[in-house]
Amino acid sequence: AVDGVILVVDAVEGVMPKTETVIRQSLKENVKPSLFINKVDRLVNELQLTEKQMQERFIKTIVQVNRLIERNAPDQFKEKWKVRVEDGSVVFGSAYYNWAVSVLHMKTTGITFKEVYNYCKNEDQKTLAEKSPLYEAIVELVIQHLPNPLVAQKYRIPKIWKGEIESIEGKAMIECDPNGPLSMMIVDVSVDPHAGDVATGRIYSGTVRKGTQIKMIGGKKDIGVQQVALFMGPERVAVSEVPAGNIAALVGLKEVYAGETLSTINMKEFEAFMSNTEPVITVSVEAKEAKNLPKLIEVIRQITKEDPNIRAVVNQDTGEHLLSGMGELHLEVTQHRIEVDHKIPITVSPPIVVYRETINKNSPKKHEAKTPNKHNKFYMHVEKIPEEIMEKLIESKINGKIREKDKHLVQQFIDMGIDREEAKRIWAVNNNCYIVNATKGIEALFEVRELITQAFNDATNEGPLAKEKVQGIKVMLEDAKLHEDAIHRGPAQVLPAITRGIYACILQADPLLFEPKQILFITVPQDFMGAVSKELGARRAQITDMKTEGDQTIIIGKAPVKELIGFSAAIRGATQ
């Protein structure tokens, strides 16, 4: 949603692994960085550095940041976007004590680095905050160094939007045209107790007005805007309209989720910021008191809107709410939000790790599956979906039954690289698997199509190895012999025959069980290296890289998610 960012780096800690991640992510989307070096007072009061040592620490941090910018910035901006003290793109200060200085701001305030050092040394930062307030230096940095939408959208739109740039909406976004078709991406959804759902997003072209009917491109629905607002700091201020280049808040869009594209025309969606990675760990959540159950349901619905990487489903057998996330810490943060932010006491089960089943080769053709009454036979085999097609299938997020009228989905399959005739005969997609009707001339087959699709879904939702979801397989239904009387080919006959037939094919195709792994970045003082290495060794971790910075070591590795349950607590215990 933004064209520029202020990168906040701790003056004592320096550039951390998280800092690198933030820089890479911003530069990946052509977002211009600037730098705020925070907690400068700690260098003087805690580390007791001299003025010269303090400046040397600043230089080291700036060099590290610029090195990351040079590695990750687009070629045309590698030099231009480097942060420099002399042009004011670096600000030094203390957010806690509310003061900041930069070379540009010094010309206004007359404050020098020597005076900053003396104020900190004498513990008189209140006076420093009065003479050089934080907000003035930061606002000046934003005005002078972060690009405006008219400039930024020319180089950002081709990076974040994969549609046709020469189209009407493409040209409108490049020019940031307030009179063009509306193009808006929702980046956050919050719930106001009075106004309801508030969707916040960036408008790249067009103007959004109160009462406007707009299209949810991903949700494929038309919705009405009840209220339009701008944010003035933390306050939401209602306005009649908001033009292109602004970040707007829309009220009344109940079914909008973070990552949705809104427009007045049918257009290509923006690249979603939601992770393509499937959630790998699940917990069940229950309210401790029955009276809080309705509130818990609403809070979970709100959280899944605000964080699209959290998945929530209700276990129909037990009535539990199952929350799935990217790791134990992700779920701990979600639990904290439910219990602390929303004040709902909950009971959380031990985490369960999500595995996936797949195959390593194609199964033999024409595997025969008989119904229990022996009156119907189905012939099928399974094939491994090629990796390049699999990646595109995951990106497409297609799931469900495919009807004859769904011509656009058939075209998507063809664009992925699936054979045209095969694409036309796909009946359903589930968990990135699909079933193809490769039979010819069997009229009664369409009478049991729904049952075959349901059995396919059942088989891919619970695989034969460990009852985990199956991914990356193509089921080819080659032939069938059906009883002429429909009463002999009902659900009790067709469902088990197809499900067990698919299981048998998978078991003949060298089945595999995928175990999720997590990448680790651990920063540890050298004194605790032995304890950390021992902890990682006990958890089947693979160390891929180690870097030394000063008296600290950064360990980069990966480990099975199952082994990392309780890891955060264990690593804290091992290093205290």
Task: Report the candidate in 377, 389, 373 with the shortest Cα–Cα distance to residue 487.
Answer: 373
- Flag whether pLDDT at 549 surpasses 80: no
**pLDDT, position 375:** 94
Does the pLDDT at position 5 exceed 70? Answer: yes
CATH of 4-147, one of 3.40.50.300, 1.10.10.10, 2.40.50.140, 3.60.21.70: 3.40.50.300
Confidence class of residue 465 from pLDDT cuts 50, 70 and 90?
very high
Report the alpha-carbon distance of residue 48 to residue 233 in Å, rounded: 36
pLDDT of residue 329: 80
pLDDT for res 573: 81
Return d(Cα 417, Cα 402) in angstroms, integer. 17
Q: Which CATH architecture has domain 517-574?
A: 2-Layer Sandwich (3.30)
pLDDT of residue 15: 86
- CA atoms of 512 and 470, how far apart (whole Å): 10
Domain at 358-513: CATH architecture: 2-Layer Sandwich (3.30)
Return phi, psi of residue 235, to 5°: -85, 140
Closest residue by Cα to residue 366 from 380, 377, 382, 383? 380
Instruction: Give the Cα separation of 360 and 381 in Å (integer).
Output: 14
Average pLDDT over residues 514-532: 84
Q: Alpha-carbon dihedral of residues 464, 465, 468, 474, nearest 10 degrees?
A: -60
Q: How confident is the model at residue 363 (pLDDT cuts 50, 70, 90)?
A: very high
pLDDT band at 275 (very low <50, low <70, confident <90, very high): low
Say if residue 103's pLDDT is above 60: yes
pLDDT at 232: 87
- Helix (H) / strand (E) containing 477: strand 473-481
What's the Rg (C-alpha) of the chain?
29
Compute how many other C-beta atoms are within 10 angstroms of the C-beta atom of residue 546. Answer: 13
pLDDT of 243 strictly over 90: yes
Mean pLDDT for 231-252 is: 89
Average pLDDT, the chain: 89
- Determine the average pLDDT of the residues in 169-183: 93
pLDDT above 90 covers a percentage of the chain that reads: 52
Is a pLDDT exceeding 80 seen at residue 325?
yes
> Quick one: CA torsion of 331, 336, 341, 344, rounded to 10 degrees?
90
Higher-confidence position of 18 and 338: 338
- Arithmetic mean of pLDDT, 152-165: 90
Read off the pLDDT of each residue in 87-113 and give the average, rounded to a whole number.
Answer: 91
pLDDT score of 11 more than 80: yes
Alpha-carbon distance 523 to 549, whole Å? 10
CA 446-452-457 angle, 5° bins: 140
Predicted local confidence at residue 9, as pLDDT: 94
CA–CA dist 477, 442 (Å, integer): 12
- The 10 Å CB-count burial string (b at 16+, else e) for 229-263 is beeeeeebeeeeebbbbbbbbbbbbeebbbbbbbb
What DSSP letter does each residue of 33-77 carry, written as one string? EEEEEE-HHHHHHTS---HHHHHHHHHHHHHHHHHHHHHHS-GGG
Separation between Cα atoms, residue 197 and residue 252, nearest integer Å = 6
Query: Which tens digit of pLDDT belongs to each residue from 114-131?
Result: 899 998 988 888 999 999
Dist. CA 376–CA 399, nearest whole Å: 28
Task: Output the six-digit token pair for 13.
Answer: 């800690």
Strand 356-359, strand 511-514: pairing = antiparallel
Q: Which two tokens stand for residue 424?
A: 């036309």
Distance set, CA 325 to CA 280, 357, 483 (Å): 6, 19, 46
Q: Output the pLDDT for position 479.
A: 95
Fold of 281-354: Alpha-Beta Plaits (3.30.70)
| % residues pLDDT > 70 (the chain) | 97
C-alpha angle 544/545/551, rounded to 5°?
A: 145
Closest by CA position to 208, among listed 251, 153, 267, 237:
251
- Beta-carbon contacts of 473 under 8 Å, excluding residues fewer than 6 positions away, are 358, 359, 382, 383, 384, 385, 433, 460, 506, 509
Q: Averaged over 358-384, what is the pLDDT? A: 95
Question: CB under 8 Å to 302, separation ≥6 — which residues?
Answer: 190, 191
Contact present, 434 and 386 (Cβ < 8 Å):
no
For the cut 80, the answer to whether the pLDDT of residue 255 exceeds it is no
- According to the per-residue pLDDT averaged within each range, which of 106-110, 140-144, 306-310 is highest? 140-144
Q: Residue 464: name the closest of 501, 492, 435 by CA.
A: 501
Task: Confirm whether 281-354 and 517-574 share one CATH topology.
Answer: yes
Work out the average pLDDT over 102-115: 89
pTM of whole model > 0.75?
no
Domain ranges of the chain: 4-147, 150-263, 281-354, 358-513, 517-574
Residue 272 pLDDT greater than 80, yes or no: no
Return the DSSP state at 270: B
Q: How many residues does the chain have?
A: 576
Rounded Cα distance between 274 and 79, Å, is 30
- Per-residue pLDDT band for 273 (boundaries 50, 70, 90) equals low
- Kindly tell me if the per-residue pLDDT of 546 is higher than 60: yes
Per-residue pLDDT, 489: 93
Which pLDDT band holds residue 274 (cuts at 50, 70, 90)? Answer: low
Q: Tens digits of per-residue pLDDT, 28-48? A: 889 999 999 999 999 988 888
pLDDT score, position 317: 63
Whether residue 59 is predicted with pLDDT greater than 90 in this model: the reply is yes
Alpha-carbon gap, residue 181 to 258, rounded angstroms: 21
User: How far is the C-alpha of 430 from the C-alpha of 436, rounded, in Å?
Assistant: 12
> What's the whole-number mean pLDDT along residues 2-23?
86
User: Which CATH architecture fits 150-263?
Assistant: Beta Barrel (2.40)
Q: Give the pLDDT confidence score for residue 576 in this predicted structure.
A: 66
Residue 143 has pLDDT above 90, yes or no: yes
pLDDT at residue 242 above 70?
yes
Q: Burial code of 305-314, b = ≥16 C-beta within 10 A, e = fewer?
A: bebbbbebee
Between 308 and 74, the higher pLDDT residue: 74
Q: Which residues share a beta bridge with 313?
A: 322
| Tokens encoding 127 | 């006076």
The pLDDT of residue 461:
94
pLDDT value for 223: 86
